[in-house]
């Protein structure tokens, strides 16, 4: 049943004033829209309701709305009602300079999960199944529920081809939580831990203070410069974040050799959202080559939702007991019902299907990114490597990506520079890190158009051909004189 919309702004009427009451109403609504007290898309009361609220005749309310329609501050939607419109961006009839300062920002920050094509029916069924069981009389066991641990193990064997012999699966509150647990149990921090650079901020936070940076190139992390102080390497072999580099077979063998010769530990950050074709057939870090000092941490935040706060760690049995003690002491296990629901989603294949589905979605979005930003070439170029819903946009010499990122943020477009993923002070490549996997196609198309428009200005381009669109539907560009 439709409800009666009310006013959210005060309207004061002076019946002794010279200006008619309908103009007083229209003027105050206009001022409220201009000051953002009434936001674009706000549903307005009907004329009958407005007349009742203000104690005027319905004719006055109708005249006020007619005035606001004429000014472009209201629009009607058949069968729905009357809504506020901010007319300023479109008064000239052309696309205004992009600015989202007063509106919702364009967020191209990497690392955000996709809600597109979410398996809602399976999700509901899993939680319904979990809720049919009586509440647990106590907290989950330190290693996690047996049903979930078994489901996670079977999932990892199926998707990664790893052996769990001599290892335990421990349920954690996410990948970052698992990384902290492993390093804490090993008693390692600071210069005893080496982390890839660039690196996602969440990984750096979980890895502790002042780790040793491992430079990343086309083959992934470089292992040749690990200092003697290091006792653990934290690596994302299948999907280095944010570059998208896949650790080559040669580098994987070098990492395993380093672990054997230095009695060191390898901590692999799992890529749980999609399958990476470039990593297929490569040796696993969690394999016989590294012996018993390799661990794997991951989670289901990227493939499902961060709200789960559920992940896993695969570690040698001896280390598992130390981690379990810490979990029990801190009561850090995810809730019982959450573990049951995720176990059901793993058993029925929902997670596996979701990974395949996201892989196809990201591939299509990558093509959309390439098309939308092709007009910037050759002045700016996309990296040929593709991350998990992330791509690097390299800017020309003389145009500082950090400065451009700050300028874009000032107009409401959030896209970080690669320098923000560096922690050692070493120079970073002059690039922006564009995250696109989390946006539906329509929103992504708009966001990329806004980004391209803003970059045209920042890079000093002017439009040529009197606005003639190119094959991507956007005007051709030439450098400004």
pLDDT tens column, 415-451: 999 999 999 988 999 999 999 999 998 889 888 888 8
Q: Distances from the Cα of 289 to the Cαs of 14, 54, 225, 269, 327, in angstroms?
A: 85, 79, 20, 18, 29
Per-residue pLDDT tens for 179-197?
999 999 999 999 999 999 9
The pLDDT score that the predictor gives to residue 230 is 94
Neighbours of 315 (CB within 10 A): 30
Per-residue confidence (pLDDT) for residue 4, from 0 to 100:
63
Helix (H) or strand (E) holding 479, with range, is strand 477-479
Percent of the chain topping pLDDT 70: 90
Return d(Cα 461, Cα 474) in angstroms, integer. Answer: 13
pTM of the model: 0.74
Q: What is the mean pLDDT of residues 56-85?
A: 85
Look at residue 350 and tell me whether its pLDDT is greater than 50.
yes
Confidence of residue 290 (pLDDT cuts 50, 70, 90): low
Average pLDDT, the chain: 85
Q: Which of 19-23, 91-95, 105-109, 210-214 bottoms out in mean pLDDT, i.e. has the lowest?
A: 91-95
pLDDT tens profile 136-172: 777 778 899 999 999 999 999 988 888 888 899 999 9
> Quick one: DSSP state of residue 475?
B
| Confidence band for 289, pLDDT divided at 50, 70 and 90 | low
Q: How confident is the model at residue 384 (pLDDT cuts 50, 70, 90)?
A: confident
The reported pLDDT for the residue numbered 360 is: 92
- pLDDT (tens digit per residue) in 276-286: 877 878 888 88
pLDDT at residue 93 greater than cutoff 60: no
Q: How far apart are CA 400 and CA 432, in angstroms?
A: 10
Going from the N-terminus, what domains does the chain have, and what CATH number goes with each? 21-90 (1.10.10.10), 106-114+357-479 (3.90.1150.10), 120-352 (3.40.640.10)
pLDDT exceeds cutoff 90 at 78: no
Whether pLDDT at 453 is above 90:
no
For residues 126 and 282, the model is more confident at 126
Determine which of 285-289, 316-320, 368-372 has the lowest per-residue pLDDT on average: 285-289
- For residue 477, is pLDDT > 70? no
pLDDT at 2: 52
pLDDT digits (tens, 9 = 90+) for 7-26: 888 899 988 888 888 999 99
What is the number of other CB atoms lying within 10 angstroms of the CB of residue 219?
Answer: 16
Over pLDDT 90: what percentage of the chain?
44
Q: Starting at the edge strand that comes first in sequence, how are the strands of the sheet with 81-84 ordered?
A: 43-44, 81-84, 74-77
| pLDDT value, residue 461 | 59
Tokens representing 48? 């009958």
The greatest distance separating any two alpha carbons of the chain, rounded to the nearest whole angstrom, comes to 92
Q: Scanning the structure block, which residue is given the tokens 């391209």? A: 452
32 has a pLDDT exceeding 80: yes
**Residue 412 scores a pLDDT above 90:** no
Per-residue pLDDT, 409: 87
Q: What is the structure's pLDDT at 343? A: 97
pLDDT at position 383: 87
Closest to 385 (Cα-Cα) out of 278, 231, 302: 278
Contact status, residue 200 vs residue 349, Cβ threshold 8 Å = no
Angstrom distances, CA of residue 302 to CA of 14, 113, 118, 156, 273: 57, 5, 12, 16, 5
Does the pLDDT of residue 371 top 70, yes or no?
yes
pLDDT per position as a tens digit, 303-330:
999 889 999 999 999 899 999 888 888 7
pLDDT of residue 141: 86
Q: What is the mean pLDDT of residues 447-467?
A: 69
Of 79-93, 165-179, 259-273, the one with minimum mean pLDDT is: 79-93
pLDDT at 39 over 90: no
Strands 232-235 and 265-269, bridge-based pairing: parallel
Indicate if the pLDDT at residue 105 is higher than 50: yes
Listed ranges 45-49, 213-217, 284-288, 324-328; the one with the highest mean pLDDT: 213-217
């Amino acid at each position: 049943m439709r409800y009666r919309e009310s006013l959210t702004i005060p309207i004061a009427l002076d019946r002794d004033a010279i200006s008619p009451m309908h103009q007083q109403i229209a003027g105050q609504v206009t001022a409220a829209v201009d000051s953002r007290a009434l936001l674009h898309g706000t549903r307005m009361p009907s004329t009958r309701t407005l007349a009742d609220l203000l104690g005027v005749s319905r004719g006055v309310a109708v005249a006020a709305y007619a005035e606001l329609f004429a000014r472009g501050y209201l629009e009607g939607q058949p069968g729905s009602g009357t809504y506020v419109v901010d007319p300023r961006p479109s008064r000239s009839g052309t696309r205004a300079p992009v600015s989202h300062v007063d509106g919702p920002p364009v967020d191209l920050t990497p690392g955000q999960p996709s809600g597109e094509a979410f398996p809602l029916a399976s999700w509901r069924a899993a939680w319904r199944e979990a809720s049919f069981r009586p509440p647990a009389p106590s907290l989950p066991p330190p290693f996690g529920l047996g049903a979930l641990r078994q489901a996670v193990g079977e999932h990892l064997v199926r998707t990664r081809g790893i052996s769990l012999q001599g290892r335990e699966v421990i349920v954690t509150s996410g990948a970052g939580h698992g990384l902290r647990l492993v390093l804490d149990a090993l008693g390692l921090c600071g210069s005893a831990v080496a982390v890839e650079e660039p690196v996602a901020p969440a990984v750096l936070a979980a890895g502790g203070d002042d780790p040793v940076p491992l430079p990343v190139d086309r083959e992934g992390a470089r292992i040749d410069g690990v200092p003697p102080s290091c006792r653990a390497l934290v690596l994302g072999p299948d999907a280095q974040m944010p570059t998208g580099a896949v650790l080559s077979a040669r580098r994987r063998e070098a990492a395993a050799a380093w672990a054997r010769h230095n009695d060191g530990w390898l901590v692999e950050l799992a890529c749980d959202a999609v399958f990476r074709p470039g990593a297929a057939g490569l040796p696993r870090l969690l394999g016989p080559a590294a012996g018993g000092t390799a661990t794997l941490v991951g989670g289901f935040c990227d493939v499902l939702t961060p709200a789960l706060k559920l992940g896993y760690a695969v570690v040698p049995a001896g280390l598992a007991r130390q981690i379990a003690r810490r979990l029990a002491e801190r009561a850090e296990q995810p809730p019982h019902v959450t573990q049951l629901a995720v176990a059901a989603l793993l058993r029925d294949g929902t997670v596996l299907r979701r990974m395949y589905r996201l892989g196809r979605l990201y591939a299509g979005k990558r093509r959309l990114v390439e098309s939308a930003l092709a007009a910037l070439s050759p002045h700016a170029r996309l990296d040929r490597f593709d991350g998990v819903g992330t791509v690097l946009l390299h800017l020309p010499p003389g145009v500082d990506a950090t400065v451009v990122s700050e300028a874009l943020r000032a107009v409401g477009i959030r896209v970080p520079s690669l320098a923000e993923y560096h922690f050692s002070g070493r120079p970073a490549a002059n690039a922006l890190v564009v995250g696109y996997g989390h946006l539906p196609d329509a929103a992504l198309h708009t966001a990329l158009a806004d980004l391209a428009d803003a970059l045209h200005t920042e890079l000093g381009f002017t439009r040529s051909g009197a606005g003639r669109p190119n094959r991507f539907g956007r005007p051709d560009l030439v450098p400004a004189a």
